Structure formats: C-alpha cells, structure tokens
Structure 1
C-alpha cells in the first residue's frame, strides 16, 4: 500500500474493522427439497437460479438476511449485497460484518468490488484462483471519515442503480431472443409437416446431426503464468465471450513466443467454447486482431459447407443443447465439459438457405442486444474510473 495517506483518512487492518465468517460445506445427503435456502456461487453470479435447501439448525452467524454483505472467494470472486430472504451461505462464501464505526457496509462493499477488479486485472486469468481468509483480514485499508464514506458510497450506488436498470433491459432482450430461438429452431420457416426426432419435434425436411459430424478440428487453450501486458497478442478469456460475439473491450494482452502464438492463434470463423464454470458461453471470432485463446476455452473449427457458425451457436444457446449439457454436468461438484462432450451434442440441421434466414432473424435482435451491452460497458467503465478516484482519495467529495 502507498505511504501517501489522504488528509483526514486513516489506515486500518481489514480484520480489525470487519469480520469474515465462513460458510458451511454440505454433503449431498444433507440437501432438502424445502427449508432454508442455501446460497451457492451460481445463485450470486446469476448462472444458476435453483436453490438447494437445508433443515439443519445452525449457529446464527451462518445465516444471512436481506441486505447482508457476502463475498465469493474461490474460483469466482466478488462482493454482493444479499437481496433475498433469510438464507444459509455455502462454503465458498463469506459473510462480512462491518463494525459500522470505522467502516460502513455500503463503503466496504464498493471497496471490495474495487479490490476484486484489481486482483483480477493483475492475474493472468489462465487458472482458477482463490484468496484466503487470512489474507483478506490482513489487508490494509485506507478509510475516510464515516460521513465521507457515506457520500462516496451513495455516489457509486447511484451508478450501480443505472447499471442495474440497463442490465434489466438486456435481460428482457435475452428473454425475447430465447423465445425467438425456440420458435425458429423447432418450427423453422414456412413448414407444415413435422416429425419426432432425437431432439424433439422438427420440420420433416430437417436432419439431426452431432457436432462431431461437422467438426474439422479442435484444441484446448493456452496456459501461461506470465503476466498480462499492454502489448502482444490479445488473450480471449471466458469473460470475453458474449454469445455469439467476442468482446475486445478490457481484453488483456500477452507477449509470447512465435511457436506458442502459432499453436494457439485464432482466425476468423473459429468457434470458442467455455469448458469450465460458465458452461453455455461461446464466441465466434470475427476480427483482424492477433489473438490466442486461454486455457479454459476450447477452439473448434466447423465445416461451413454443412452448418453456419451462427446457426450452430444459436442451437448451442437453445434448449436443444442446454438440456444435453445439464445432463452431462448434473451432480458434478466441478462444472466442466470437454471436447468429447461438445462433439456429442445433437442439433437440428435445416438446409443452408434456411439456416441463413433463421440466423438473419435472430441476429437482428442480437444487434439491439449488442447496443445495450455497449451502453453497459460504458457505464461500467465510468464506474471503474469513479471507484479509482473516490476510493483512493484522489478526488475528494464534499460533505455537508
């Protein structure tokens, strides 16, 4: 930490002003179908809406209530304000309780979000990381007086509210897209005759294939312990995949050998699947930028004379593949898939001209989604800059 302390601010050890309480690990036999909901990582990230339940009687510290501050500390990082009913938080989550004298909960929430972004930007993003409770407690914090904390937190929370509203618009568009995919990928365009198939009822003229039938080659991504840089090849990560696009805003770069670059480079038309954690995310490379793909991705190259990349992508997003993926990962504590799992997925296959028509209709909605996503990215950049200025004392707020 810098020796420069803003006037009026004080330095504290985080463990002296906030308590980090461990969550509880569960055996499969302890899950119930009703009772007190148990918050897992996916319930906080939004990747999973279903809850497990428990009827165990636990110490009060292992429950959280509406408004409590939680922190995910393994594989997935982040601070969250719980907005649900009384619940139990799982093992990879801490409940954070502030002393409310030296530090307030809204301020620590924003501070932990900033610290998390710093850690993630400094890591190479190639592997699964975690932080320890001891390191969190020993971390030194520069804290302004309580009134200044309240003003800073209020300013940042106002930006959060706009971000949340924009995200709600994006979620509505995604729901519309899901409905459109369900209609077009099961009924097609202009069909009157249908048949039963391995993936459900389809137009009679369509076929069913596995992704292996159209796979030309596949490869797992690049792993390195080297730090990111501002030059070199772009490194596409899971977080850069946005179904079906790949977002370069905020994407890190890395200097690597020519041999490694040639082995892991991405060319236009390459299809990237997330193989760990965020199962269901993918991106189709359509850029002139020099880039490689990180280790938690798998690169596929498909036969475009049989199936358009975007059509394959929309099938992958749809219930067709999502049901198959859930069957593969169900009951697993580590949610991972591999190339063989992907090649085994079944999808419907209309003619190329009909694929083009279906893709054109869904892509029109994607364009609106992209516009809203760019707005979201701009808001997040504004928030990041504000956090850097306000939470470090570089820019001071006026307190009445």
Structure 2
C-alpha cells in the first residue's frame, strides 16, 4: 500500500479521507413548480433540467447551490452562485453539511448521474438511489484546494468559449456579406434571389454538381479497434461543417473495401441522414482531411462530383453548403420524423448565386482562414476538457494530491 493511503471499499484513498454515503455529504431536493403563465421577468435564474432558461422576479433557493436534472435531461450539473428558482424538473442541493459548494459540484459532475436514471419514455433521476452512492470525502481544506484547481481549468475553458462565440459571430457576418455581396463590388443587378453583384450568375446546385451515393458496408465487419479504414457516418459531421471524431464511438472496418469507395483527400461529402433532434446535421458538408488512415464512403453520405471544375471552387461550395439559406432549405424539405433524410434531387433544387472563379477563390480563402482560427480554439478547448477529466479522476480519488495538481495547471 502507498504511503499515506488506506484500503477501503472504494480502493486506496488518503488516510485523512472518509468513505461515506452521498446523503452524508449533501441532500438533494426536488425543485419547485412554476407554470409559464406565472413567470414574471426579473433577475433570478430559472433553472430547468437542461440549464438556465429564463429569469424570474422571485427566488426559492439561496445561492450558491448546485442543480441537476430530475426529469427529461439527466446527467448535466449546474453550479449557481446566486439566489435562484430550480424548477420541478430538477433536483437542487438543499443541505451541504458543512462541505465546500464548488467541491460538491465537481463531485456530482464526476458521478455520471445518467447511470441512476429510471423510466423508458421520460428518464427520471431518483434522489433516494443517488443518496446511497458511496464517495470518498476529503477534509474541508483539501476540498477547497481541489475545487480551486478544477475551477481554474473551467475558467480557461470559459475564456475559450467566449473567444469561440466572438469568432463564430465574425464568421456569420462575413458569410452573409461575402456570399451575397462579394468583395469590393459597386454595381449590382436584380435576380430571382434579389440583388446580386454584376458579373455573378444564378444556378441550381443541379447545374453545378452531382452526388454519388455511398456503399453499404457489412455491419458484421464494423469494429471500434483502430485500423487502416475509418468508416464515416452522419455522426462524424459537425453542425457547422467539417468532420469531428468521437473516438470512444468511432467505427472502423475490417471487411472487403471497394477501391471506388475510399475517399480521396480534399473530397467534399454531404450528410444525407440526420439523427439529431434539431436536424442540425442534415446537408452538412465536410472536406476529407489528410490523415494516417483511409476514410470510407459510407451509405447515406453524398460525394460531390463537380460538373465543371473551371466553374466552381470546391472550398467555395463547402462554405455555401454551410450558409444559412441552404441549411434552412434542408430543414424545410426533410423527410422522416425520428430520423431526417434528404435526397440528391432535393439538394439539386437549391438555387444559389455564383461569383466568377477567381472571386470564389478569394471568398473561400477568407472564410477558410476564419475556420482555421475556430478549429485552433476547438482543439485548445478539447485539450483543457481532457485535462479536466483526468484531474477530476485523480483528485477526487486522492491518487493525485493538490500540490502536484497545482504544478500541472501552472505548467
């Protein structure tokens, strides 16, 4: 056994720590009903199971407190510094039993409360079951130090979120201006889309490209063990365009691979199916990046094949496929309820304005530069999120003591 550690039912923990039931640490209480018609604008946060939704003129719980979903959205945990009104779809921390509030927030965050949800239709969190969960509890001074370290990482993530919001807002404004007014134009003409720069043309997507369907790869050859072939699915598409990787769920392929369905670097693909509730993936584009594995062209993904590469820049098209009018068209024309679908015919019907090729290059370069800045911020955020998860796992079990963790943060 390590020095300064003791063996418990939760494994080795520091000798000064105790193993207790959660009810000995904090008490969860159901929130309060407040019908919409009785809500009056004020300064006190109204918190639902999915977070803050509004402000009210009265409060029910004195801050600071911690709120989590009781019904509907389960697993998210919110720290509220101020007096607030937790709604009846939530549980809030009624008693903290002399423990440090911020530490308790991270403790609940680490519990993965989803595992305690019950019910098939609308998931529900039973506080009595959660109260029986065993946790390792450090003395108050160490709680405060642990909370300070983890809060420092949260603050860094918050700064990045603010930078992301501002850069994304900048991109939205640039897209609106560049994709409708172009660069430096003083003469405009009327068109079916309204006023566009003189020298631009109006086309349907069907005039400009075709979509090749993907291949139905055999399900029995799917694996989560990384290999040469990565199987793209609609889940790999970012709502704002581009590819994202969820490595814990990522699919690879071990079966026969037709060479015609291996995607070349630089290829443009489109999501033809969307499982998200808000339908924010349907029609989303992605350009295949250079990587140390091969991307497979799966079914329900459309591969863009230009009719004339001297007429259309592939990166300009990528940004057009991220533009609000097209994405609105996708949502308005979708089929299906639980799973949304589109078709090549529907995509071909979209009408767009097209600058000359040289101007397309210029517009694409400007927007790609902003995208690169956004990606840097996303990568930075992912780094701190990974650091936070690792620190929580180590600090909340006593495997990493606070003095060492402080060195990690400062490094």
TM-score normalised per structure 1? 0.69
Q: Does 1:338 align with 2:341?
A: yes
Rounded to whole Å, the distance in 1 between the matches of 2:298 and 2:133 is 30
Counterpart secondary structure, 2:353: strand
Which residue matches 2:409?
Answer: none
Q: Does 1:133 align with 2:125?
A: yes
Question: Shift of residue 186 of structure 1?
Answer: 0.8
Counterpart secondary structure, 2:15: coil
- Which residue, out of 14, 26, 51, partners 2:22? 14
Alpha-carbon contact 1:244-1:310 (below 8 Å) kept: no
- Which residue, out of 229, 238, 245, partners 1:241? 238
Cα distance change, pair 310–4 in 1 and its aligned pair in 2 (3 A): same
Which residue matches 1:359?
Answer: 364
Rounded to whole Å, the distance in 1 between the matches of 2:258 and 2:10 is 37
- Which residue, out of 55, 69, 81, partners 2:66? 69
> Structure 1: 5+ residue runs without aligned partners?
45-50, 120-127
How many residue pairs are counted as aligned between the two chains?
369
Which residue matches 1:303?
Answer: 305
Question: Shift of residue 116 of structure 1?
Answer: 4.2
Cα offsets for 1:237-278 (capped at 9, x unmatched): 747737443244856544655169999976542535454146
Cα offsets for 1:42-88 (capped at 9, x unmatched): 766xxxxxx67999x9xx7xx66765423357578532234788456
Equivalences for residues 32-47 of structure 1 within 5 A: 35=41
Counterpart secondary structure, 2:96: coil
Question: Shift of residue 230 of structure 1?
Answer: 5.0
Which residue matches 2:158?
Answer: 164
Which residue matches 1:276?
Answer: 276
Alpha-carbon contact 1:68-1:95 (below 8 Å) kept: no
Cα distance change, pair 304–133 in 1 and its aligned pair in 2 (3 A): same
> Structure 2: 5+ residue runs without aligned partners?
1-8, 405-411
Q: Does 1:178 align with 2:172?
A: yes
Give the CA RMSD over aligned residues.
5.0
Rounded to whole Å, the distance in 1 between the matches of 2:131 and 2:177 is 52
Cα offsets for 1:284-329 (capped at 9, x unmatched): 332342456999xx52222334655533442343332354467679
Residue range with higher mean Cα deviation, 148-157 or 73-82: 73-82
Alpha-carbon contact 1:79-1:112 (below 8 Å) kept: yes
Alpha-carbon contact 1:217-1:300 (below 8 Å) kept: yes
Alpha-carbon contact 1:207-1:350 (below 8 Å) kept: no
Residue range with higher mean Cα deviation, 262-271 or 283-292: 262-271
Counterpart secondary structure, 2:390: helix
- Which residue, out of 188, 191, 199, partners 1:193? 188
Rounded to whole Å, the distance in 1 between the matches of 2:10 and 2:342 is 46
Cα offsets for 1:125-169 (capped at 9, x unmatched): xxx999641364454322222322221011100111112112212
- Which residue, out of 141, 148, 152, partners 1:154? 148
Question: Shift of residue 214 of structure 1?
Answer: 3.8
Rounded to whole Å, the distance in 2 between the matches of 1:355 and 1:361 is 10
TM-score normalised per structure 2? 0.68
Which residue matches 2:110?
Answer: 114
Alpha-carbon contact 1:234-1:251 (below 8 Å) kept: no
Counterpart secondary structure, 1:101: coil
Alpha-carbon contact 2:29-2:93 (below 8 Å) kept: yes
Rounded to whole Å, the distance in 1 between the matches of 2:219 and 2:131 is 29
Rounded to whole Å, the distance in 2 between the matches of 1:156 and 1:266 is 41
Rounded to whole Å, the distance in 2 between the matches of 1:262 and 1:129 is 43
Cα distance change, pair 361–145 in 1 and its aligned pair in 2 (3 A): same
Cα distance change, pair 164–265 in 1 and its aligned pair in 2 (3 A): farther
Counterpart secondary structure, 1:392: coil
Alpha-carbon contact 1:104-1:146 (below 8 Å) kept: yes
Rounded to whole Å, the distance in 1 between the matches of 2:38 and 2:297 is 40
Which residue matches 2:202?
Answer: 207
Cα distance change, pair 263–172 in 1 and its aligned pair in 2 (3 A): same
Which residue matches 1:3?
Answer: 11
Larger of the two Rg values belongs to structure: 2
